[in-house]
A and B are shown apart, each in its own frame.
Chain A
């Protein structure tokens, strides 16, 4: 009985998580409502968000209990968050199931496991790398975290752009199961680290006949064959237990002491351990060096861009923004778009405005949907995104005496005045840099009034 209920519960949770995540995201619109609230809560389950908050805002957010809840559940049951709740995890689990159903050949399932195992030990070097980059001050790490990644890729798709990261990861998952979840996902590895201390886990207690069915069934290469206990990457899905022909696997309280590697002779373990630790040290040192050498490159920003209203100062903004793309999705005037990767890793997927294309209507919905505080809740009076500058030789009111002044007409904050001849003049202290003027300027090509980021 118990065996049947658990997977049912897991599938339903995953289904709800996946569907609601996509629906709430797709329905983000002005004015943001309940869906937005739920999304906020949801994504704050990610401990990386907490790390960022501590690192950058140097304060404990009021929602600290959400990531702590994730951590607590991990300390109890391992990566249950990844296996049961994470919407991206749910999506990849589905992809994996499809992949396994379609590519049934034994060969493939063998390579699957080989690749999973071969790459698994990389996860902590990768985490080390990300941590160093993060601590030194570049936060692009974020665009790989599951909520943010899934989110910006969905938004990309909804906006009619190619969600190439999602496509890549999906393809990878079809062939190599949840490699992403077990080796590359920053949140997943962080939780793996915590899962080393977990209280409950699957363990081989009965007669193992070395059939390796569990190894083949496990989508993250964490099955307990050879180790007697599932590895810390285990997503608590229980597949190993279900496929075991001798019913040798059980969900148990961890003993905290030794006894875990009983399937391999003890001195072998000691020898490989010694060799490994030396190798490990070199690898870690190399990783640290790489990260230190690369981080400067990764914070490099191309040109100053016009950002959404209320953003933190530029370096903090790119650090705190988790690139979830919700601001882009909610923006009713479609003024926000994600920066392409050509603008540097540090800027990739961060929102910016091209006023000639679309202007910011100062509705401030982006402030309401931003889960990280990268777009702070700054009241309209304090918003300063940029400044408008008139290019008089191009302006038809200045050069041709036309009754234009459409920039002044449409400026929402009355920052453009007409002089006695209806020629526009910018009142710099009133200008918030929303880009309305640049957007409506009827001059062909580049506008005669342009907004420069402050």
Chain B
């Protein structure tokens, strides 16, 4: 059995067990695992089905503390172990945020130690290769160096690089209303496991940058998002491709001057894990002190059935 077969096998197996939901969840419909249905009626479904997660979508894990390694270990343990997600020989892609040339202590980029901890876990679980990618605003060398990502990831045995050339992208049908096609990251399309790994921070335009917003770093033409409708594009992109897991670095982040910084830093000392990208963002928004409904792309994505924004319907587990 090759890897692809295996992964899709796992995916469909889980589907049939009703453990993983994908495709369209009409808003208001419960994402309670028992009720989840696979409704293959959206154009994005075909792509989204390849992104079925191994984890329970109705569950959010909040790891609290400050030590990067134990935060990540605790989180994965509570999710059900990394082995459920990363199989031997799998290719894993991590998408942290190192889009600006800020140092880790400036809290505008994903904490490199956290990223390295995930890389280590994936490799320990038998991953063939762990790629850590972003499409930074500024020059790759500066962002990779200043953010500390390159050093930390390489020390952990992964590969960190910027996907800042068109050759890293391939044309896909995103199937949205306004985002019909896009040049999307090949690395993510070809990965067996895709983990989105944003940092919780302020954003001047969308108020917050979170998991859904972080996905913009996988698209070549971001100008299109700005020229058309930013929130809708972000939502449609999320509907096209959901990560298998979203981890939000909420240990600390800037609460103004985002996304570029430097800004005022606030500490939450938390890392949020979840298979449902909308749920993760919803929780993170409340943590930041916002109403999730005010972060335009969260309700827009929920509307498209990307996930659940009613925290009542989710189990939040703190570890």
Contacts and interface: CB of A to CB of B under 8 A. Distances in A.
Given A30-B145, A363-B142, A403 B100 contact: no
A440 B101 CA distance: 16
B1 interface: no
Nearest to A365: B142
B139 A409 contact: no
A440 B136 CA distance: 12
Contact of B204 (A30, A359, A408): A408
A406 B216 CA distance: 13
Contacts, number: 68
B226 A442 contact: yes
Interface stretch (A162-170, A259-267, A371-379, A411-419): A411-419
A405 interface: yes
A436 B227 CA distance: 18
Interface string B229-246: 111000000000000000
A440 B222 CA distance: 10
A403 B142 contact: no
A245 interface: no
Contact of B259 (A361, A363, A409): A409
Given A30-B145, A412-B100, A440 B137 contact: yes
Contact of B257 (A414, A436, A440): A414
A31 interface: yes
Contacts of A440: 137, 223
A366 B138 CA distance: 16
Interface in B297-313: none
B138 A412 contact: yes
B202 to A, nearest CB: 11
Interface string A323-351: 00000000011100000000000000000
A332 B142 contact: yes
Interface residues of B, number: 24
A409 B140 contact: no
B265 to A, nearest CB: 15
Interface string B257-276: 10110100000000000000
Contacts of A412: 100-101, 138, 260
A403 B145 contact: no
Interface residues of A, number: 27
Contacts of A436: 137-138
Interface string B78-102: 0000000000000000000000110
A403 B139 contact: no
A257 to B, nearest CB: 61
A410 B137 contact: yes
Contacts of A406: 205, 222-223, 226
Contacts of B222: 406
Contact of B138 (A29, A361, A396, A402): A361
Contact of B205 (A334, A363, A403): A403
Given A30-B145, A412-B101, A418-B204, A361 B139 contact: yes
B141 interface: yes
B128 interface: no
Given A30-B142, A30-B145, A422 B101 contact: no
Interface in B142-161: 142, 145
Interface of A: 29-31, 332-334, 359, 361-363, 396, 402-406, 408-412, 414, 418, 422, 436, 440, 442
Given A334-B139, A440-B137, 8 more contacts: A30-B139, A332-B142, A333-B142, A359-B138, A402-B227, A403-B205, A406-B222, A442-B224
